[in-house]
Amino acid sequence: MQTPAPVDYARATSVADAIALLEKHGEEARLLAGGHSLLPMMKLRLARPEILIDLNDLDELRGIRIEGDEIVVGAMVTHAEILDSPVLAEHYAIFREAEKVIADPIVRNKGTIGGSMCQADPSEDLSAVGSALKGSVVIQGSGGKRTLALREFHEGPYETKVGDAEILTEVRFPIRPGAGSAYEKVERRVGDWPVASVGVFVVVAGGVVTDCGIGLTAVGAEHFCAPDAEAYLIGKAPTEENLAAAAQLAADACTPYADQRGPVDYKLHLACELTLRALRKAAASSQGA
């Protein structure tokens, strides 16, 4: 059995305490939330931190609430809590649709939204959801807080703009009255990483699309989004022809690579087809449609 290298452990008592511990221990420290990404990497010795800083006592990083025209989700909110949240379900069906196909109940009960975003896995479901909804993150360090668009948050595979002594504390999603949303995923088996996944929201008013967002994961879309496809739909009626054209533009924004989950042409086909399915569903469920 593979086991991690020896590691020290500290249990943070507040966000400020966690930041102080990060500053004290530098790049050899790692934050521990759900641990479903970090611990397997430690077992494989791909990650060898000298100290783990446990965030599980920090209630200030929990909870889902509405502030003004945004839904605020604490970084330590679990996948299971997102799945069961009436607040998120009221505004965006995409959350329940995505969470139902993320891993399994064991992972959903412990894995957190902050951990998922910060892991920055190129196949991460919630990264596609966050990018589709054009959300933002709040990052805190000893110098204060800063807010960053999720579409600017991921610098590349497994890389984000969270600094060495900073913590992601919140994820925020704009409330869009009348928006319809949907999530479509193809996986090799239940609970697996996606071969391809697409999340969208669409607002239809006066017979035309007035706002939309398209997020894609596992298919090499830069920042998990397809801005050209979104721009194409604005001001157009959500006809089958227009939705199909937007779906093709979304696929054109992808640069997948061949692996055990499938060849490039198959993944590009999925990117197009899943985008079309999600757009149809979201447009039909928009309250202005």
- Domain assignment present for residue 289? The answer is no
Residues 32 and 77 in one domain: no
Residue 1 lies in a domain: no
| 213 found inside a domain | yes
Buried b (16+ CB within 10 A) or exposed e, 45-81: eebebebbbbbbebeebeebeeeeeebbbbbbbbbbb
Let me know whether 42 and 103 are in one domain. no
pLDDT at position 2 is 74
Written as one letter, the residue type at 221 is A
Q: Do residue 192 and residue 107 come from a single domain?
A: no
Residue 59: partners with Cβ closer than 8 Å, 6 or more residues away? none
CATH number of the domain encompassing residue 42: 3.30.43.10
Q: Is the same domain home to 274 and 243?
A: yes
Q: Are residues 134 and 195 in the same domain?
A: no
167 and 207 co-located in one domain: no
Domain containing 121 equals 61-174
Which residue, of 174, 194, 229, is where some domain finishes?
174
Distance CA 186, CA 190 (A): 10
Q: Note whether 217 and 224 are within 8 A (CB).
A: yes
Q: Please state the domain count of the chain.
A: 3
Same domain, yes or no, for 161 and 71? yes
Residue 112 maps to a domain: yes
User: Does any domain span residue 3?
Assistant: no
Phi-psi region of 115 (alpha: psi -120 to 50; beta: other; left: phi over 0): alpha
* Domain of residue 255, CATH code: 3.30.390.50
Instruction: Indicate if 90 and 185 belong to the same structural domain.
Output: no
How would you write 231-256 as a 3-class SS string?
HHHCCCCCCHHHHHHHHHHHHHCCCC
pLDDT in tens, the chain (289 residues): 578 888 999 999 999 999 999 999 988 899 999 887 888 888 888 888 899 999 999 999 999 999 999 999 999 999 999 999 999 999 999 999 999 999 888 889 999 999 999 999 999 999 999 999 999 999 999 999 999 999 999 998 999 999 989 999 999 999 999 999 999 999 998 878 899 999 999 999 999 999 999 999 999 999 999 999 999 999 999 999 999 999 999 999 999 999 999 999 999 999 999 999 999 999 999 987 6
* DSSP conformational letter for 26: G
Same-domain check for residues 123 and 221:
no
Q: Say whether both 195 and 251 belong to one domain.
A: yes
- Measured distance CA(64)–CA(88) in Å, rounded: 8
The verdict on 203 and 119 lying in the same domain is: no
- Among 174, 194, 216, the domain boundary falls at 174
Query: Which tokens belong to 199?
Result: 């999340």
pTM: predicted TM-score of the whole model, two decimal places: 0.94
What's residue 218's pLDDT? 97
